[in-house]
Amino acid sequence: MSGLKLRGVRKSYGNVQVLKGIDLDIDSKEFVVFVGPSGCGKSTLLRMIAGLEDITDGDIAIGGRRVNDVDPSKRGIAMVFQSYALYPHMTVRENMGFALKFAGVPKAEIEKQVQEAAKILELQPLLERRPKELSGGQRQRVAIGRAIVRHPQVFLFDEPLSNLDAELRVHMRIEIAKLHKELQTTIIYVTHDQVEAMTLADKIVVLRGGEIAQVGTPLKLYDDPDNLFVAGFIGSPKMNFLKGQLENERVVLPEYGNISFPASVSASAPQEVTVGIRPDAFDAGGSEQLPLKVEIVEHLGNETYAYGRLGSGELLTIATDNDRQVKPGDDFVARFNPSSLLLFSEDGQRIR
Amino acid sequence: MSGTRLARNEQINGWLFIAPSVLLIGIFLVYPILWSLWMSFQVGKGMNFSFGGFTNIIRLTKDPIFQIALTNTLIFLVFQVPIMLTLALLLASALNDPKLKFRGFFRTAIFLPCVTSLVAYSALFRSMFSNEGVVNKTLMAMHIIDQPILWTSDPFWAKVLVISAITWRWTGYNMIFYLAALQNIDRSIYEAAKIDGVPAWARFTQITVPMLKPVILFTSVTSTIGTLQLFDEVFNITEGGPANATMTLSLYIYNLTFRFMPSFGYASTVSYVIVVGVAILSFVQFYLARERSRA
């Protein structure tokens, strides 16, 4: 039993409301990622779970126990910091065993725990080193090791990979995913990188401006976003957004020569909508077509992205099914099926 | 061969740039140091001196005032430096707490003594610690003592007075170094320690203090040097009294040079006692603080 329950959690600094009432359930052994742009409150929320920030209002329960006023060390959590926060004057062994020393664990047991964690993280040859003698990835592993030895119910990760270079980040991402499989504990992970969120999470919590924009599995958020923000935030390259009008079960795109196609929803009165279509939703065999002039082409090897527009319209990103012949300046017809479009109302909510 | 000419030009340019300071340092620093070393082997009064070999060093061993001055200086060192540095460290960690109100005010207030005028503060201390002074009156009003303490005429209390004065003056100065170092420590290290369940006292002794070790070493060396050279306070507040109870090496050097029949040679020898003392103590401190090789 190591799930979390957040009920009406708020945080204010003076008059500034950072978190505006968060309700969230996290199941035991779940890998949950808080994702959102900077300033959305995701780190603050994590720090409140950790007990490093006071809770202005609301309740946080870990494993069925309300922890609002429980000391951070007694909440059954362990945290990995963005800066690693290793004790610089201690060796790797001392860093990992430090918490146990104060928990009254006997020396032999500490040594056993440290060895065990070192084995999982392949840190054994480094146990006598100090943090400054380690590379970024090794420091990261020590920070994780320091968390593991405490056998927490919940691991908290605060942007743990953002100080690593791109290659190492991918590597550590896989390490963390493996670790979750091995340890079978609840993990809450904060990141601003939607790729990390998509690849690691069982459940993604998208935060925006101190509120939850949507909660769901990675594919649910990708395929079925609740609002414009989630649609634009999840997925790379970004979803295309076009101005359109919805009238009589048809969508009209005024910037694209008033072409129209059937909509999956109907509106009683004509209304302005935003039409969303993912770059990879364009399909050479689609029933509808958008004529474009290609401006930029990106060859990634396995995929070719064409960026084009019609007249003064929005610049669209199109995954071309790796059409390597397309060149800037070409006329290009992007085809799609109306069923792959998402419609959003003027206030940014999905129209289903 | 334009490459070597360029290198030579650069060398000449370099020397030209540093020549003024080298000249000044040579005249006002290196020359006096060497000259005083030479003087320390001279005997005689005033300007009549002659080479005396180790005569001055032998005189040291038989000079009761020198021995009192040396003992006093070491007493000041042993008590004052640890008290002051501990106090500075505690104040620095207290004032580093972001939740503390009026931090800026406290920091300034504690730092101010070391920039106040020496003479003004000495005069103030003398009046505060006089037999009828505010310190005695306060202590008596609080019933801590029933008779005034003879701060300037009792040998023990005179030393306490001097130690209090230098501690008051230099604690803030050392605290600033600690504060600066504390602000360079990543806050998340303390947060990690909180989550690790490390109690507050252990966060201080096992995280703060080890991480400040280089700064602590620096302040302890500079404070040791300062205390070994202690002159200002004893000259201005107690004048070395009562009965040489607060006589220090520096004050003794001053007396030997300017008060009594000038004995430049012997005064230089006593100066070199301080030099040797500083060298030994600094070495010991660096040795103790060295990065322990890993087991």
pLDDT for position A39: 87
Tell me, yes or no, whether B9 and B75 share the same domain.
Answer: no
Q: Indicate the average pLDDT of chain A.
A: 90
**B51 in a domain, yes or no?**
no
Tell me, yes or no, whether B65 and B190 share the same domain.
Answer: yes
Q: How far is A51 from chain B (nearest CA, A)?
A: 8
A95 vs B258, more confident: A95
Confidence check: pLDDT of A97 > 80: yes
Residue A108, Cα to own-chain centre: how many angstroms?
40
| Residue A348 CB-density burial (10 A; 0-12 exposed, 13-18 middle, 19+ buried) | middle
- Inter-chain contact A87–B197, Cβ cutoff 8 Å? no
Tokens standing for B169? 């003056």
pLDDT for position B294: 44
Tokens standing for A313? 């319209």
Tell me, yes or no, whether B171 and B261 share the same domain.
Answer: yes
- Inter-chain contact A73–B188, Cβ cutoff 8 Å? no
Structural contact between residues B41 and B53, judged by C-beta atoms closer than 8 angstroms: yes
pLDDT for position A162: 87
**B29 in a domain, yes or no?**
yes
**B278 in a domain, yes or no?**
yes
Total number of domains in chain B? 2
**B48 in a domain, yes or no?**
no
Rounded distance between C-alpha atoms, residue B87 and residue A194, angstroms: 50
Q: Which residues of A touch B191 (CB under 8 A)?
A: 50, 52, 79, 81, 85
Give the domain range for residue B264.
58-294
pLDDT for position B50: 79
- Inter-chain contact B198–A89, Cβ cutoff 8 Å? no
Tell me, yes or no, whether B19 and B150 share the same domain.
Answer: no
Closest CB from B188, B211, B295 relative to A89: B211
Q: For residue B108, what is the enclosing H or E element? A: helix B103-111
Rounded distance between C-alpha atoms, residue A72 and residue A74, angstroms: 5
Tell me, yes or no, whether B15 and B154 share the same domain.
Answer: no
pLDDT for position B3: 64
- Inter-chain contact A99–B199, Cβ cutoff 8 Å? no
ipTM of the complex: 0.83
Alpha carbon dihedral B55, B58, B64, B67, in 10-degree steps, equals 120
pLDDT in tens, A195-215: 999 999 999 999 999 999 999
From edge to edge, which strands make up the β-sheet containing A16-26?
A16-26, A4-13, A57-62, A65-66
Tell me, yes or no, whether B26 and B76 share the same domain.
Answer: no
Nearest CA in chain B to A143: B192
pLDDT for position B2: 55
Tell me, yes or no, whether B35 and B71 share the same domain.
Answer: no
- Inter-chain contact A85–B213, Cβ cutoff 8 Å? no
Q: Which of A46-60, A93-107, A285-299, B44-58 has the lowest mean pLDDT?
A: B44-58
Mutate to test the interface with A, among B182, B195, B198 (most CBs of A within 10 A): B195
Rounded distance between C-alpha atoms, residue B272 and residue B278, angstroms: 10
- Inter-chain contact A52–B210, Cβ cutoff 8 Å? no
Structure letter (DSSP) for residue B184: T
Structural contact between residues A121 and A149, judged by C-beta atoms closer than 8 angstroms: no
Residue B211 near chain A (CB below 8 Å): yes
CATH code, domain with B127: 1.10.3720.10
**B10 in a domain, yes or no?**
yes
Q: Which residues of B touch A85 (CB under 8 A)?
A: 186, 188-189, 191-192
- Inter-chain contact A146–B210, Cβ cutoff 8 Å? no
Tell me, yes or no, whether B109 and B194 share the same domain.
Answer: yes
- Inter-chain contact A99–B198, Cβ cutoff 8 Å? yes
Query: The whole model's pTM is what?
Result: 0.80
Q: Which residues of A touch B192 (CB under 8 A)?
A: 79, 81, 85-87, 146
Backbone angles phi and psi of B50, in degrees to 5: -140, 165
Rounded distance between C-alpha atoms, residue A193 and residue A159, angstroms: 9
Residue B197 near chain A (CB below 8 Å): yes
| Residue B248 CB-density burial (10 A; 0-12 exposed, 13-18 middle, 19+ buried) | buried
Mind listing the pLDDT tens digit of every residue in chain B (295 residues)? Answer: 556 888 888 899 999 999 999 999 999 999 999 998 988 888 877 777 778 778 888 888 888 888 899 999 999 999 999 999 999 999 998 888 878 888 888 888 888 888 888 888 888 888 888 888 888 888 888 888 888 788 888 888 888 988 998 999 999 999 999 999 998 888 899 999 999 989 989 999 999 999 998 899 989 989 999 988 888 888 888 887 788 888 888 898 898 888 877 888 888 888 998 999 999 998 988 888 887 644 3
The CB density around residue A45, as the number of other CB atoms within 10 Å, is 27
Tell me, yes or no, whether B146 and B197 share the same domain.
Answer: yes
Tell me, yes or no, whether B100 and B168 share the same domain.
Answer: yes
Tokens standing for B45? 């009064």
Nearest CA in chain A to B211: A89
The CB density around residue A312, as the number of other CB atoms within 10 Å, is 6
Residue B214 near chain A (CB below 8 Å): no
Tell me, yes or no, whether B13 and B92 share the same domain.
Answer: no
Distance between first and last Cα of chain B: 54
**B137 in a domain, yes or no?**
yes
The CB density around residue A154, as the number of other CB atoms within 10 Å, is 24
pLDDT for position B193: 92
- Inter-chain contact B294–A91, Cβ cutoff 8 Å? yes
**B85 in a domain, yes or no?**
yes
- Inter-chain contact A102–B207, Cβ cutoff 8 Å? no
Tell me, yes or no, whether B120 and B16 share the same domain.
Answer: no
**B212 in a domain, yes or no?**
yes
Rounded distance between C-alpha atoms, residue B110 and residue B106, angstroms: 6
C-alpha dihedral sign at A133, A137, A140, A142: negative
Nearest CA in chain B to A83: B188
